[in-house]
């Protein structure tokens, strides 16, 4: 475990290649799930990629509130990348499946490189890369191919060239990150500002070196310029919802679609959207070894590899400070900087991967040095072997379906085929979970669906929420006039209804729907035996049926009214 300068180049290449091999194996596992059936889509891609089918057919989703909203919030570089790839024949949904393994390999290469700049021991680079890969493939960020998936393959190159003080490439990386995931540029801004300060002997002083000011100044200008552009760009679906508004909506309360305000202090500050996302940061469990590193560094005589830790290690502290500053700033400015967890989750996951890898390498080196005699060597070898097996195969032991992909399968191909035969400008009303899949697999617009109930921009969500409540009220109203008024007001063409939707339990156990007063009224009516006005039309106006669903024609319902 000698440092890189004294290690044969072949050893560095070996551990680097092995790192890429592990990443490739994980990526192939993701691809296997992605192409395991015809109708497969990643959960978050149903929000952030479905509307991109417009790149292939501009007539899709005309005047669609949901598609327009998600298109408006897509970062410019992210949307342009998918548009360009669509232009050369790679469909957005296909691209979203192909990208994760590629992003994983880029992440791995630069994670290894950064490790060598912090602690030049190749096996530490391998360990850090594997830990980060395991963390990413045990959760659904990288696999989504949504903007958050680009954080790692763009931030890690930034950090690598930042440590090499390469202003040109560092600036390019900042610009790219701003185009794909602009919120994270705030972390870079914090890291850059902290470079002006020197910490030594418990004292902080300003570094007035010309090179430092030039390097930091150039990159601060780039980062600030990107953030200024975004700050001056107004959303057509604004304003951002205020904390006061959010506290009054069931969506943000315990059990809500976007649960945020939790009574339990531990959960609020350490878990979920409001917390630092501790469980995500410490996945896999080996990440917790990172907490040992500060202690190990205090005993360089007992742990011979400690002196190999380079001064660049301070950047991990800078990343951590920047992450927590932005975490608390996001709480103060709720929800103007989006979710607080976004700043700590990504940052601390990388920090813990590096600190855990360095700590584990230092400990293993000490274990091998301890094993000088034959019995001790055997003991050290057995311990190291067992640790290696557990380390490499932990994800498979911890998860039944590693890598964790959150892929969703379309279960109603005949339904999608029927809807695709209809004009591209139709609008479908539905309270069923299947409505989440229709824009992706049928390429048709839905009035509302749980997957698209994202409440952070009030200009969008106020309309969405109103639509949803009107749809609940109309579907369960005993008054036929309510159906007619709803269809005419919303311009609905087809109404997709589950055949078991008219039982109290259908609504009672639906946490998304039962938060509304109109839902409670519907439940009370069903329990009292009062049937909705639409039930007699389930057969009469059905234009298409499956075992579980009926698709009612709005024209037929309006004709019955006449």
pLDDT tens-digit map of 90-99 = 999 999 999 9
Domains defined for the chain, CATH in brackets:
4-369+386-398 (no CATH), 411-561 (3.40.50)
* Rounded Cα gap, residues 427 and 407, in angstroms: 26
Contact present, 203 and 196 (Cβ < 8 Å): no
| Gap between the Cα atoms of 49 and 407, Å rounded | 14
Q: Is the pLDDT of residue 4 over 60?
A: no
Average pLDDT, the chain: 92
Query: Is the pLDDT confidence value at 296 over 80?
Result: yes
- State the pLDDT at residue 382: 64
Q: Quick one: pLDDT band at residue 384, thresholds 50, 70, 90?
A: low
- CA torsion, ordered 167, 173, 178, 182, to nearest 10 deg: -100
Residues ≥6 apart with Cβ < 8 Å to 421: none
Q: What is the pLDDT, as a whole number, of residue 1? A: 42
Q: Which helix or strand (DSSP H or E) is residue 356 part of?
A: helix 341-370
**Model confidence, pTM:** 0.93
3-state secondary structure of 445: strand
* Alpha helices (H) in 233-283, listed in sequence order: 243-247, 265-270, 278-281
* Whether the predicted pLDDT of 10 surpasses 60: yes
Element (H, E) at 31: helix 9-34
Specify the pLDDT at position 104.
97
Q: Are 371 and 379 in contact (CB under 8 A)?
A: yes
Burial class (CB in 10 A: 0-12, 13-18, 19+), 208: exposed
Q: Poorest-confidence range of 102-106, 233-237, 269-273, 361-365? A: 233-237
Report pLDDT for 6: 62
Q: How far, in Å, CA of 506 to CA of 500, rounded?
A: 7
pLDDT of residue 3 exceeding 70: no
d(CA 73, CA 39): 26
Cα separation, 368 vs 2, whole angstroms? 12
Token pair listed for 488: 């005419």
Which has more confidence, 232 or 324? 324
Residue 2 pLDDT > 70: no
Query: SS3 helix, strand, coil % of the chain, rounded to 5?
Result: 65, 5, 30
At 446, list the tokens: 């839905």
Phi-psi region of 272 (alpha: psi -120 to 50; beta: other; left: phi over 0): left
Q: Quickly list DSSP for 494-523.
A: EEEEETTTTSHHHHHT-TTTTTSHHHHHHH
Helices and strands (H, E) in the chain, number of each type: 25, 9
Beta-ladder partners of 169? none
At 456 the pLDDT is 95
* CB-CB neighbours of 496 under 10 Å: 21
d(CA 467, CA 470): 5
273, two tokens: 């959207």
Q: How far apart are CA 249 and CA 525, in angstroms?
A: 24
* Both structure tokens of 130: 């594997």
| Cβ count near 231 (within 10 Å) | 11
pLDDT of residue 377: 57
Does pLDDT of 200 surpass 80? no
- 51-63 pLDDT, tens digit per residue, is 999 999 999 999 9
What DSSP designation does 457 have? B
pLDDT, residue 375, reads 59
Distances (CA, A) of 68 to 65, 387, 428, 495, 542: 5, 50, 16, 22, 30
pLDDT over 50 (residue 40): yes
Residue 95 is inside which H or E element, if any? helix 92-118
- Percent of the chain scoring above 90 in pLDDT: 82
């Amino acid at each position: 475990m000698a440092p890189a300068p004294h290690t044969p180049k072949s050893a560095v290449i070996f551990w680097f290649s092995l790192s890429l091999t592990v990443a490739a194996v994980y990526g192939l596992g993701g691809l296997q799930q992605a192409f395991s059936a015809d109708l497969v889509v990643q959960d978050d891609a149903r929000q952030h990629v479905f509307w991109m089918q417009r790149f292939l057919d501009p007539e899709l989703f005309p005047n669609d509130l949901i598609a327009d909203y998600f298109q408006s919030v897509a970062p410019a570089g992210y949307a342009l990348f998918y548009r360009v790839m669509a232009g050369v024949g790679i469909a957005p949904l296909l691209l979203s499946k192909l990208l994760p393994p590629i992003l994983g390999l880029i992440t791995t290469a630069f994670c290894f490189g950064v490790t060598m700049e912090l602690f030049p021991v190749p096996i530490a680079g391998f360990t850090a890369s594997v830990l980060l890969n395991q963390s990413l493939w045990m959760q659904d960020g990288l696999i989504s191919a949504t903007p958050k998936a680009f954080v790692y393959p763009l931030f890690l190159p930034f950090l690598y060239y930042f440590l090499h003080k390469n202003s040109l490439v560092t600036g390019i990386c900042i610009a790219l990150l701003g185009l794909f995931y602009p919120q994270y540029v705030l972390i870079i801004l914090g890291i850059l500002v902290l470079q002006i300060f020197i910490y030594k002997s418990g004292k902080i002083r300003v570094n007035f070196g010309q090179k430092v000011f030039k390097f930091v100044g150039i990159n601060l200008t780039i980062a600030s310029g990107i953030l200024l552009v975004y700050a001056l760009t107004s959303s057509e679906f604004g304003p951002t919802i205020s904390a006061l508004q959010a506290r009054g909506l069931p969506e943000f309360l315990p059990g809500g679609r976007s649960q945020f305000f939790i009574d339990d202090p531990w959960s609020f500050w350490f878990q979920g959207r409001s917390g630092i996302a501790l469980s995500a940061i410490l996945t896999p469990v080996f990440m917790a070894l990172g907490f040992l590193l500060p202690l190990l560094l205090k005993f360089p005589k007992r742990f011979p590899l400690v002196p190999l830790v380079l001064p660049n290690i301070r950047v991990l502290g800078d990343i951590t400070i920047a992450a927590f500053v932005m975490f608390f700033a996001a709480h103060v400015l709720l929800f103007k900087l989006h979710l607080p967890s976004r700043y700590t989750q990504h940052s601390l996951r990388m920090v813990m991967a590096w600190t855990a890898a360095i700590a584990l390498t230092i400990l293993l080196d000490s274990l091998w040095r301890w094993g000088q005699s034959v019995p001790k060597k055997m003991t050290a070898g057995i311990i190291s072997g067992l640790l290696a097996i557990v380390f490499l195969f932990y994800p498979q032991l911890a998860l039944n379906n590693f890598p964790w992909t959150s892929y969703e399968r379309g279960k109603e191909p005949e339904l999608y085929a029927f809807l695709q035969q209809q004009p591209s400008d139709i609008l479908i009303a539905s309270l069923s979970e299947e409505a989440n899949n229709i824009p992706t697999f049928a390429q048709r617009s839905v009035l509302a669906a749980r997957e698209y109930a994202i409440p952070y921009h009030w200009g969008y969500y106020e309309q969405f929420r109103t639509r949803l409540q009107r749809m609940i009220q109309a579907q369960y109203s005993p008054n036929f006039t309510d159906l007619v008024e709803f269809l005419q007001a919303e311009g609905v063409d087809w109404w997709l209804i589950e055949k078991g939707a008219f039982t109290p339990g259908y609504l009672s156990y639906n946490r998304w729907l039962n938060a509304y007063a109109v839902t409670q009224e519907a439940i009370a009516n069903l329990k009292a035996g009062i049937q909705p006005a639409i039930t007699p039309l389930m057969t009469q106006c059905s234009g298409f049926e499956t075992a579980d669903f009926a698709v009612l024609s709005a024209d037929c319902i309006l004709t019955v009214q006449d």
